[in-house]
Each structure stands twice: as structure tokens, then as C-alpha cells.
Structure 1
Amino acid sequence: MKKLLIAVITVFLLPVFAKAQFTISGSVSEKSKHNSLPGASISLKNTNNGTSSNTKGEYQLKNIKAGKYVLTVSFIGYETQHKTIEVNGDQQIDFAMEPSAYLADEVIVMATRATEKSGTTYKNLSKSDIEANNFGQDLPFILNNTPGVVVTSDAGTGVGYTGIRIRGSDATRVNITINGVPLNDAESQGAFWVNMPDFASSVESIQIQRGVGTSTNGAGAFGGSLNIQTSAPALEPYAEVNSTYGSFNTLKNTVKIGTGLIDNKFSFDGRLSRIQSDGFVDRGASLLKSYFLSGAYHGKTDLLRINVFSGSEKTYQSWNGVPEFKLRGDVNAIKDYIAKNGLNEADAANLLNSDNRKYNSFLYKDQNDNYWQDHYQVLYAKQFNDKFSFNGALHYTYGRGYFEEFQPGQLFADYGLQNPIINGAPVLSTDLVRRRWLNNNFYGATYSFNYKASSSLNFTVGGAYNQYRGKHYGQISWSQISSNLNNTDHYYDGDGNKNDFNIYAKVSYSPVEKLNLFADLQYRNLTYDITGKDNDLLPLNIHDKLNFFNPKIGASYFIDPKSNLYASLSVANKEGNRDDYVNANAGTVPHPERLYNVEAGYRIKDAHYSAGLNVYGMFYKDQLVVTGKLSDVGAPIRQNVPNSSRIGVEFDGSYTLSRYFLINANAALSRNKIKNFTEFLKNSDTKEEITYNYTNTDISFSPDAVLFGELVYKPFSSFAIALQSKYVSKQYLDNTQNEGRKLNGYWVNNIRLGYDFSFKGVKNMNIGLLANNILNKKYESNGATYASFSGGQRITDNYYFPQAGTNLLLSLNVKF
């Protein structure tokens, strides 16, 4: 009777036990010296539940359901530990960490990455996050699901020329480093992922810092930073073959090999990739090739790594976009355009008969962009003792390439050429093919020293010195009528030389256990010289020297082990790009831009959810924007506007609904304004300049809302299906906030599937499917507008870059 009563009570209490939630707590210390290890990462595998040890090395994980888990603890410089535990009540589990047999690669980027103690807004993407979304599209499309990010593709497919904006700021205002080495082109300040195809296959992790972020190397971050770490060594030898095939004849082939750790000291890794695609737009084809080689020596206290990676691209130009009247299918406007511009028969037929959304104005068969870029990195890190460490890098990047274009009816005089005499009379013009070349060298050194005075006090001192030497020149490779120039001669030569030095100091201090204070001071000095002749044959003699001081302060308050508040105030300064200097009217130099950035937020992480909510204010002085003003030769000029701002709120969260369902979501809502804006238009009848004044207009290409949601269904551990949905609100093409010059808002839905399995001789096989734009939404993600004044009225020409409708990418990844 007694046993029966116990059994009945147990049955009734089963639901209570099933829903019971427990706590795991303990400490993390160094095994031999028994010193506590604050900042160690503790997590339950395959859950969102994780935390860090406090200043005493203690940790606590709450709200854990009964069941079997793998508890993982990691700390840089120590061997990661895993413990399998059975949770049926509160438990205390301590960890005694052993020093690692080798120094981890994370130390290479540690100085330039933000942490919970930095008081900044950031998001980390792990190797698994990157692999799950890597179907051969450029890296911006892999980052598309992160807060405040908007991506675009000239060819409409994510392969070829692609772009990324963070908080409305384009790539020239997003600082990008690879292992702490600057990637942005020193002159244009952009980053061209087409030159680095399939680079995501060699990436270990990425940190996206929104806003100014922490001090790093390269140009100032005015919208965000991408801090990229390349692949760390595998412990065991491996080989991997990845292939993707999909719509528009998109094909990616990747081969990866690695030795694993040899004698616990050496490792060698390599990758070879090839990507090709016809593109969505007509003749929007790309042929991309790349490789990545890495060799490393791993000591207990030092690390030496040598990386060599390279990319080459041949991309048919689809830079002009589709005219608005063509996109809307306005036949009468098309015919008017043909008549007014005197298009030849082939161009007229192309404009009339091509698909409205796929139209490409270029017909010349070799209208290609060709570029090759080689990167060399020597990375070294040294852990002198448990308090003092160093890492540094020597780097060299060599880029060279050209774009080729057919130009009808060109005046010989515009190329500095003599007019040939035929039948006794001078010939003034000819059809020709020209190539505009860029040949550049970028090299330098970066370094940082880190001193951990105590568990509550940490110092970092670092910096860099980099030099850029760029050559710009043009060639006429073919001319219908020859003149006095060989096809190997240069009809213009220009040089751009830039020296960039910076030094920074950071300190992190915890006066009490729950509070951390952070300060980051950077000094940057640069000299920039532009000489020779530009492509319009005008002489260049521009020299500028700038000194910037970029201070940052922040604080984090840890409410408990799973949640914290943070706030920061930062200042950043940034010089203009090459075009700002070259296109400025004679005798003028663009003022540098200044940004005051305020960030504040709240983060929380629990067993079933993680979330972050932040507000920000970005207040600009002398931001450079397009105003419609033209230079003496008709080139567009960006001008400084006195006051502009971006104010917004961002959310990023994840919630586990059950063992089968997971929700990921983020949102960025913002208000992006120029206080007073003057537009300039050229009156083609009188040659005078007309001005229009505006107040509180939206900054161009800055949507008020960027929303993302993802529902993941995982019926068993090796299979997952995700429904992804992204909304981007309308964006204006210029700074006048005119409804006739805008990109319409769009809502796009994708589906991603992944299935993993293994069999004898194969470690893992993954079959993946990415179905993009499953509802076949017709939308444009980028555009341009040009305006003039004639006949007493404004004339506006809008151009758009349509993105592909429903398209598929199917991948097969095999690991041996």
C-alpha cells in the first residue's frame, strides 16, 4: 500500500518535475596556481544559456530544465573543457583550467574587438553562423540578417559587385579589418568584395560594431566596423569539398585542406575557390577566382602565422542601372529617349526589346571590369606572462586592374591627341576602346600591447603605420581612326600617395564588482598627396595633412550574471575620399567630417532567450553629402553640410519556443536628418547655378525601418529549415526627400534548409538549399538620380538596380 501511494504521488508530480528549473553554479580557476579566472565563457551546448565568470571567477546559470547537457568553459590561453552533466537539481560544478598547449588565434584580434565591458553596440558571428549562410554570395549578403544592415547587388544576385550599408552609412564609412589589418581602399575608402570571392569560406568569426565602436586601424568608422578573423587551425587533418549550383547558372566550387596540428606546433591550411554567374540583369556575368593559404607555428606562449590570399575578378559592367521609364515599361518615353539621344540601331533595339527589369545599356562584348588583388600577412603574438602580451602584423596588399569600355564619337582633343589628317582635312573624333587602370601598393605594420594589472584593471596600447601608393592611368587599346598614341601608351597618369599613422590607448577598470569603466583614446595623423593628371587631363597638385583625436568613454553595469546595462560616448573624425579632393573646384579642399556618437543599451541572456536593446545618436558636423553641385568639368561634388544626425533604436533577440522551434528577430528604427540642405542645379540654358533650400530632410539611402525575422524548425539535430523575412522601408535617392526620387520599401522572404549526415569515410555531409525571394517580389535595392534645369523646368533622371525574383541555390558540402 505504501509503495502504491508513493507511485501515485510520483505520477501526479511528474509534470511538476518536468517543468522544474534548476541552477548550476561554480567557479573557474587556474589549475596549478589556483588563481581565479574572471571573464571565462561558460555555456550549455545547443542552448542560448551562457554567461561569464565574475571578478572572483564565479559563475551562475539559472532556469535550467531537467535533462542531460554538455557544459563548456573556455578562456583564452587555456584548454577548453567540456563536462557532460545530468541536471535534476541545483548543482555546483567547478573548473580547474590547464594552460593551453598553444596560444589561441583569438589573441590576434583581441585588441580591436569589443566586449560586454566596452560599452559599445556589437554583434558576433561565429564560424557556424557564417557557414550556414554561405552559398557563394558575397560577404555582405551573409551579413544581411544582422541589425540595421541593407545590402544590394549590381547584377541582382549577390554575386559580382555588391554593397552594404550599416545604419544608412555606405561602405566608405564602414571600417573593415582582417586580423586587425585595414582592408578599405585608402583612397576611395570603399571595400570591394568582388575582389575577394568566397572569402567567407576562410573566416573564423566576424564582429560587427555599429556606430564608432572601439579604436581600430584604418579610416574612421562612421556607420560601423567589420572586424574579421580568418580561420583558426583544426586539431585534426581534414579535406573539404563545397559546391553550389543555382539560378542564372550560378556555380561555386571550393576545395579546402588542412594538416591539423602537427606535433602540437605546426599547421597548414589552404583553400581554392571559383565562382561564376550569369547574373539576373542582361550580361551581368561574373567569373571570380580566389585562394587562401595559411601556415602557423603554435607555441605555448607565442604564435606566428603567415597568410597569403588572393582574388581575381572579371565582371561585365552593370553599373548604370535601369532608367525609370524603362523599368516602368513606358514605351512612349523610351521612344522619346531614343530620338532625343540619337541612339544607334543596336542600342535602340536593346532599349526597346530587352526585359524591363533586366535591361543593361552596355552591348560591347568586352565591357568588363578586371582586377587582381594579393594580400600578404605576417602575424605574431606573444604571451610574456599571465599579465602581459603582444601581437603585431606586417602586411602588404598589391592590387592592379582596369575596366574596359567602348566610347563612340570621342574628340581626339579630349585625350590630348593630335587630330589626324585624312584626305587633306583634320578628323576631330573617332570611336575607341579605352582602359582605365589602377595599380596600387598598400603596406605597413600594426601592433598592440596588453597588460592585465589585475582582475579589475586592464590596459591596451596599440597602433599602426601604413603607406599607400596608387597609380591611375589610361590607355586607348583600340581606335577606329589612329592618331599619335600607341595602345600601350598612357593618355593620363596620376598618383595618389597616403601615409596613415595612429596610436591608441585603452583602459578597462572595475571599481566595484558590477561596474566596469572603459576609456579609449586614439590619435591619428595622415598626409595625402595627389599629383599628375586626372582622366579629364586636368593637372592635379593636391596636398593635405590632417591630425585627428578620437576619444571614447563607456561604462557597463552588470545587474546580475545574465544581464547588463551599458553606455558610451565617442568622437570620430574622417577625411574625404579621392573624388572629394579631385572634384572640388580649384583652390578648395573638403573639410574633414566629425561624428559624435552616443550609445546606450541593455543585454540579457538566459537559457531560452537572449536579447539586446539599444538606442543611439549619431551627430555629424561637416558630413560630406551629394548636393547636385558640379565641378568645373561637370563632375559631381560632395559638400560639407554643417549639421546632420542619425537617431535610432535597435533590437536583436532570439527565443527558443521549444526543442523544435527557435525565433530570431532584429529591428532598426531610425530618424536620419540633415538640418539645413542646399541643392544646386545647373541651368543648361543660361549656364547659371540655381539653388533650392530645404530643412530637416532625410539623408539619402537611409531607411526609417529595417526589420528581420527568422523562424527555425529543427525536428531533429541534423536537419533544420528556416523561414527568413526582411523588410526595408523606403529610401530617398538624394537629400531633398522628394517622393519622385526614391526607392520603394520592400519585403523579401527566403527559405534556408540544411541537412547533415555522415557515413564511413566521410566526417560530415551537408545538403543545403537557399530559396531567395520566394514570393517573387519585384523590388530595387539601389539607385541614382541626376537633375538639371532646362526650358524653365527641372529635369530628373532616375536609375534603379532591380534584384532577382525567386531564385535557388543548392549546395553540397563534404568534409573528410
Structure 2
Amino acid sequence: MMKRFFLCLVAGSLTTVSLCVSPLVEAQAASKPVAPWVPAGEPVDTASHELDEVLVTAARADRTTPVAQTNLQAKEIKALTVATNLPHVLWMTPSLVATSENGTGAGYSSMRIRGTDASRINVTLNGIPLNNPESQEVYWVNLPDMTSALQSLQVQRGVGTSTNGSGAFGASINMTTAGGRAASSLETATTVGSYGTFQQNIALSTGQFGRGFSLDLRYSNLTSDGYLRNGWLDHESLFAALVKRFDRSTLWINYMYGNQHTGITWEGISDAQMAVDPTFNPAGEIKEGVYYDNESDNYRQHHFQAFYTQALGERWLLNAGLNYTDGFGYYEQYKQGKSFSGMGLPNQTVEGVTYASTDLIRRKNMDNGFYTGHVNLNYHSSRLTWQTGAMYTYYDGDHFATLRWVEHNENLGADYEWVRNNGEKTDANVFTKVSYSPLAGLSTYVDLQYRFVRHALSGIDDDDMLDMTQSRNWNFFNPKVGVYYDLSTNNAVFASVGVAHREPTRADLKDAFKLGSTSQIRPERLTDVELGYTFDNHVVMAGVNLYYMRYKDQLVPTGKLNEVGYKLMGNIEKSYRAGVELQAGYRPLDRLSLEANATFSRNKALDYTAWYETYDNSNDWGDAPQLSRYFKEASLPFSPEAMGAFRVIWKPLDALSVTFTKKWVSSQYITNTQNSDLMLPAYTAANASLVYGFDVRGVTKASLGLYVDNLTSRRYSSNAWGYEAHFANGDPTYVEKGLYPVAPRHYLVKFVLQF
């Protein structure tokens, strides 16, 4: 397919705020709903912080933006990053549930915020969309240890501010990488722990040299045997940032590389298997006790980014940049008894015997390129901030499948390609946003965005050899308005209303098309109303946020999985999420801080009819007319009605920090059929850490940390899939569930040297 290359213009300039850089008060940073809590701590690197402002602020909310937000800076992020991906770094974020396929937080992991899944959480990196354009998911495993390279991040709950890429349908996360440091430094970090885990990081910063240049480099490698059988991983990443400063402008060039090889763990296990052996993993099983040893997922990415910012007088700023992301990967599986006709191939005759099926080893491959371009112009005065801009993205992705080995092979060549299809997606938006302060302490906010999306599929689907060729266009208008008011020095309130739209994913489109119902798969619409209050006097912080998220045509999982773990989706005409988020922090002593948050919510589909797969009886499983059940109100899947978290950070000595965290999540359905057998039970999880800093001759700083996850060794799962079938003759309902168990108590030790 034709590849395209674009110059992009990027991001605006508003003030971002350093939050809680002292380890004692990381808890407060993680819980901040609106206004920042800024106790004394180490200063932020000014040069890097200025670049941070330039790159992210088109999408990032400032202190007076009327959205629920959580902010973290580099030191906090690094302290929370211990051989895990971002979802587990954000473990204490209000309304967030982190999940992991292999039970340790490394490898494949994800998150939900307010019950919305990862495909509805918009993620940007330096203003560039990170969500895969086809699935709309972010695969954190594909950029291993990315969090170690971050300068800052912001989580917005709800619709939030206008952003690039797929719409924020429950939350958005925008991140900036570090770079442009003023001083030179060298840091090494070594982590070892349970299940053969070993991670090595090294980071180098030259500081400024020559005529305004600086270079930052970071390399990371992580290996582990994993908790589950076949839960191994071998990951490496590289980050480089070259910055050149001029009198009134800055040029910033980034390169990011990720290469991951991970054992497949996405199939899950049953309740019975979890009770007997939670480490069991059926992936690659040939017969009992015999497994294919390369049942794996493999992917590598190259990210190339360049940004240029130019001051136009005292109040105007223009930014330009470009981004290209190149990705290639595959997953490899051993399959038994696969029919040749199911792959569009003739039967194979070997030594006079004709075979209609065979055992084989296959690869399903992806080869894609993602190109972005955007331009932003920014104006800032004491009372008025105005930003306007546009973005264009183009994605071109090939999907193809090859046969690595075929047991009964007459004439199929090596690495025989038996199917190929393509997806192209264009996503363009224009926006303007204004923040105006007519009175001291009062700020009004208007944010308007128009978005155009075109998604075209062509070729034969590798799952069932059916034609999936189609093209769909959507036009979305996403307005947002709000107001923020400082009631006093320590008290503030905000209110906002926002609209967002979200298009169907590639899996939604192709599955609906093959069922002859493409026109019935509709884009989703969300109207989000937020009302918040916060109190903060630097000793006590308290906040409450009320939200009402009204959906039209929300796509929800039916409970059944396709071959690679995607949950099949269907539109629900009317549904909502309504809740209250409570947050509190208390710092009675310089050496002690406490934080807690809780969410109570209702998440319902209205006037909903559930349709069940139906067969004649449980012996024959012959097709029968579908059974259905009407619900005036039905609970949305993966939407616990209550959750809470607590953290205490105690520093008994200047050099010693002790942290304890605990999280509770109520029970939740895993499908929309309201079957009590398809629920995740409530669970409680606790983690602890102890970090000691000490002096070493010739070293600026040294620290040794002990980290203990699942402190009580509780057996639970934070994620699952479910399926049920009904029988026309009244036989008992067939229920199947796949659980992803969390590893029992496990340990990591991290040793850091800074020069």
C-alpha cells in the first residue's frame, strides 16, 4: 500500500505544575483531583520542564481546567516503576483497575477507568496518539519500560479536554518523555526478583554542550520466567532525545525503540483449574504435559519524532513537528487438527494418503506504518488563553498469515502465506479552545473539536476466510464547556459538560460485516457531566467529584471471545455511568503522609435485550432459534460499583522510606447477560515497599529497595472473559469462564546508582 509522510505542527504552551516530588508525599500527587498540592521537594529540571510544557499542553489540563485529573512527575513515576508497565504504576489512581495476563504486572497488562476499557482510554505520547488505530488499544508491552523515560503524565477522568487520536470515552492519559536536561548525569538501575525476573536500566544525559545542544539516552532490558507456565518475557527498549536550543526556539528529536518477545498467556483458566493449579496455562498444549515451546507474541516498534517550537512575540507560540511509527510483529501458535479448507487450501496427499486436516505451526503477522501531522497556535495573556490547531493521521496496516510447519504437506512452500488483508485509517481533527478569567479566581472554558474518521478494510479475514472489504466514514463534533472557581485560598469548585464520539474498531466492523449487519454497528456518543470540589491547605487535602456519563449506542462485550482474545461487541442504545469519587490526603508530620480514595457508582444499560447463543440440546449442539431476555436495567460488564484504595508513606529516617498500599474492588459482571456465574468476585490486594538511600564514594546517590506485591498472597483475578450457551430443550446453561490469576506474594529488589 502507498506510504505517506507528513510534516506535523505540535502542541501549545500552558503552565504545567510540579506535584509532590518528595517520596513522602507521592500519595497526594496520585490523588489530586483538580488543584495541585505542592509541598517542599526537590526542584524540577527547568530546561526539561519547559520542553514538557511545549509538547503536551494542547491536550493537557492546567490547574483551573474543569476536569478531574491526576498528575505525576518524573521522580514519582520512577519510584513507582519496578519491572511493571504503566497500568500498575497508576495503581492508586481513583476509579482505576489494573489488570495483567501473566499475574505480575509485566508483559501484557491493561487498565479500566470508571469501568471503561483500554480501547476507550485515549493515550498520547508527546502529543502523538499511542492507541492502535485499528483496535484502539494501547499495548504497553510493545514499548517496554517506557515509564522510565517519562518526564510527566496526566490522567483525565471523563471526556476531558480535546485530544488527538481516538476519542476519550472514559479517560485520557497524556505523557511526555524526558529530554533537554541542563546538567549531565549517569544512572544505572538493576532489579532482580521472583520468577527469575531481571531488569537492567542505564540512562545517560550529557547536559548542555556546544551551542545549546543536549543528548539523553536510555536503554532497558527485562527478562523473566513468569508466574504462569509459558509466562516468560524478553523485552528491550531504547530511548534517545536530542535537543537544540536557539534564542527564541527549540528543536527536539526523539527516537524510541521497543522489542518484545512474550509467551502467550491470553487464554485464561477455569475456576477449577485456578483452584488446583493457578499457574496452569493451556497455550501451546499438544497433549497432557507436552507443549509447543515457542507459543509466543513478538513485536518491535520504531518511533521517530521531531518537534520545533517558535516564540512569536511575547504572547504567541507556534509549534511544528513530525512523527512516524513503524511496527512489525507476529504471534506463533501450534494448532491441532486444522482443516485445509478452513484456510482456503486444497487437501494434501502424502504417500498416497489424502488428508483433510493437519497439525501445524502458524504465524499471524502485522506490518504497519503510522504517520501524523498537526499544527497548533497558542496565545496567552493574564486573563485569556487561546489555542487552535489541527491534526492529520494516516495508518496503513497489513495482516497476513504464514505456515511455519505443516505435518501433512504435499506442496506448500516454506513460510507459505495463506491469507492477507489490509486496513487503512485516516483520522483528522481541528479544534479551538479558550480559557478566560473575567474575575480573580474565576475561569471559564470552551473547547470545540471537529473530527473526521475514515476506516477502510480489504482482503480476506484470516479467522474464517470471508471477504471483509468495506469502507466507513464518520464525522464527529465534540463540544466541551466548563467553569472553575476558587472559593478561597484553600477551596475550589468546578463544573463541566462535554461530548465525545467513538468509532467502532476493526474487529467490530469485520465481524458485523460478515454477519451482514455493518450498518447496525454504530459509533458511540457520550455526554459527560462533572461537578467537583477540592480543599487543600498543604496538610489536609479532600476532594469530591460527581460524574454522570450518558451513552448512546455504547458498544459492550457480549462475553464471547474471538480467536485472539477480542471480546465481540454490540450496541446498547441507552446506558449510563454515574458515580462519586472521594479523595483525601493527610500529612500530619513531615515524615508521614496518608492518602485514600474511593469510588461508588452505578453502571447500567437501559431497556436492554440480551440475546443468547442457542442450540437444540447439550448433546448435539445443533443450531436453534436464539433465546433472549429483556432487562429494564442491566449492569454493565467490568464495572464494579465500589472500589477504594489506601496508601501510607512513612519516613522513620532521612534515608529510609516505607510504603504500604491496599486496594479493594467489589464484584463485577464479566458479560452483559447478568449471569451470576459469570462474575469476578470482590478482591483486596496489598503491596509494600522499603527503600533505603545511602552514600557511596564517587556516587551522587545510591538506593536499595525491596518491593513486595500481593503481600497477603491472596488468590484472586482482576480480569476474566466469559461465555454462555443456552439449549432449546431446557438443558442447563453451558458456562465457560477464563480467569487471569494474580501471582501470590512475590518480591523485587532494585539497586540504583546515580552519578
Q: Return the offset for 1:349.
A: 4.9
Q: Which residue of 2 aligns with 1:552?
A: 480
SS at match of 2:469: strand
Structure 1 SS opposite 2:582:
strand
**Residue of structure 1 equivalent to 2:450:** 523
Please give the residue correspondences for 1:438-587 in structure 2 after superposition, counting only pairs within 5 Å: 438-452=366-380, 454-535=381-462, 536-584=464-512, 585-587=515-517
- Quote how far apart the aligned CAs of 1:695 are: 2.6
Shift of 1:71: 9.8
- Which of 749, 752, 755 does residue 813 from structure 1 map onto? 752
Structure 1 counterpart of 2:412, one-letter code: L
Amino acid at match of 2:754: K
Partner SS state of residue 677, structure 2? coil
Contact kept? 1:117, 1:518, Cα under 8 Å: no
1:302 is matched with which residue: 241, 249, 257?
249
Q: Are 1:700 and 2:637 matched, yes or no?
A: yes
Provide the rounded CA distance (Å) in 2 between the counterparts of 1:298 and 1:313. Answer: 34
SS of 1:112's equivalent in the other structure is coil
Give yes or no for contact 1:628–1:681 (8 Å, CA) kept in 2: no
- Per-residue displacement from partner, 1:674-708 (whole Å, max 9, x unpaired)? 11222222323351222222231211111112211
Query: Residue 102 of structure 1 contacts residue 300 of structure 1 at CA under 8 Å; is this kept in 2?
Result: no
Q: 2:104 aligns with which of 128, 141, 157?
A: 157
* Partner in structure 1 of residue 573 of structure 2: 642
Q: Distance in 1 between matches of 2:500 and 2:49?
A: 37
User: Aligned partners of 1:402, 1:574: CA distance in 2, in Å?
Assistant: 27
Question: Is contact 1:675-1:695 (8 Å) kept?
Answer: yes
Q: Give the residue type in structure 2 aligned to 1:598.
A: V
The 8 Å contact of residues 40 and 73 in structure 1, kept in 2 or not, is answered as no
Give SS of 1:220's match: coil
**Aligned to 1:738, which of 667, 671, 675?**
675
Of the three residues 601, 609, 623, the one matched with 1:678 is 609
Q: Secondary structure at the match of 1:657?
A: strand
Supply the distance in 1 between the matched residues of 2:172 and 2:601 (Cα, whole angstroms): 19
Alpha carbons of structure 1 residues 463 and 39: separation in structure 2 relative to 1, 3 Å: closer
1:605 alignment counterpart? 536
Residue 422 of structure 1 deviates from its aligned partner by: 4.0
The answer to whether residue 297 in structure 2 is matched with residue 369 in structure 1 is yes
Letter in 2 for 1:537: M
Identify the residue that residue 518 of structure 2 maps to in structure 1: 588
8 Å Cα contact 1:469-1:495 kept in structure 2: yes
Distance 1:616 1:507 in 2: 23
C-alpha distance in 2 between matches for 1:122 and 1:614: 10
- Letter of the 2:528 partner, please give it: N
Q: Within the alignment, does 1:419 sit opposite 2:357 as a pair?
A: no
Q: Distance in 2 between matches of 1:624 and 1:42?
A: 37
Q: CA RMSD in A?
A: 3.0
1:364 Cα deviation from its structure 2 partner: 1.1
C-alpha displacement at 1:587, in angstroms?
4.7
After superposition, the Cα gap between the structure-2 partners of 1:115 and 1:635, relative to the gap in structure 1 and judged at 3 Å, is closer
In structure 2, do the counterparts of structure 1 residues 42 and 201 end up closer, same or farther at CA, with 3 Å as the change threshold? closer
Structure-1 residue corresponding to 2:688: 751
Is residue 114 from structure 1 mapped to residue 61 from structure 2 by the alignment?
yes
- Larger RCO of the pair (alpha carbons < 8 Å, separation 6+): 2
1:588 CA displacement: 1.9
Contact 1:644 / 1:673 at 8 angstroms: preserved in 2?
yes
Cα deviation per residue 1:79-116 (whole Å; 9 max; x = unaligned)?
96xxxxxxxxxxxxxxxxxxx89954321112211122
Q: Which residue of 2 aligns with 1:800?
A: 739
Q: State the match for 2:661 in structure 1.
A: 724
Q: Report if aligned partners of 2:598, 2:644 keep a CA contact under 8 Å in 1.
A: yes
**CA distance in 2: counterparts of 1:222 and 1:748, whole angstroms:** 27
Q: CA deviation at 1:458?
A: 1.4
SS state of the match for residue 248, structure 1? helix
Residues 251-400 of structure 1 correspond to what in structure 2 (within 5 A)?
251-263=198-210, 265-329=212-276, 347-349=287-289, 363-400=291-328
Percent sequence identity over aligned pairs: 35
Q: What is the deviation of 1:238?
A: 1.0
Equivalents in 1 of 2:530, 2:20: separation in Å? Answer: 30
CA contact (8 A) 2:561 2:721 kept: no
Does structure 1 residue 669 correspond to structure 2 residue 609?
no
Q: CA deviation at 1:300?
A: 3.6
Q: 1:184 aligns with which of 112, 115, 131?
A: 131
Compare 635-644 and 497-506 and name the one that shifted more. 635-644
Distance 1:754 1:637, change over 3 A: closer
Deviation larger for 640-649 or 667-676: 667-676
Alpha-carbon offset, residue 483 of structure 1: 3.7
- Provide closer, same or farther for how the CA distance between residues 650 and 323 of structure 1 changes in structure 2, counting only shifts above 3 A: same
TM-score (norm. length: structure 1): 0.84
Unaligned ranges ≥5, structure 1: 1-37, 50-60, 81-99, 351-362
Shift of 1:637: 3.9
CA distance in 2, matches of 1:773, 1:101: 36
**C-alpha distance in 2, partners of 1:216/1:249?**
40
Of the structure 1 ranges 514-523 and 557-566, higher mean CA displacement relative to structure 2 is found in 557-566
TM-score normalised to structure 2 length: 0.90
Contact kept? 1:48, 1:609, Cα under 8 Å? no
1-structure distance, mates of 2:127, 2:18: 26
Q: Deviations over 1:772-808 (max 9, x none)?
A: 1111111111111111124533111111111011101
The corresponding residue for 1:54 is: none
Asked whether 1:410 is paired with 2:350, we answer: no
Q: Secondary structure at the match of 1:328?
A: helix
Aligned-residue offset at 1:70: 6.8
8 Å contact kept, 1:628–1:679: no
Question: For the Cα contact (< 8 Å) 2:25–2:649, is it kept in 1?
Answer: no
- Give, in whole Å, the separation in 2 of the partners of 1:539 and 1:131: 47
Tell me the alpha carbon deviations over residues 545-587 of structure 1, each in whole angstroms, 9 at most, x when there is no partner.
Answer: 1100000000001112332110100000010100100000125
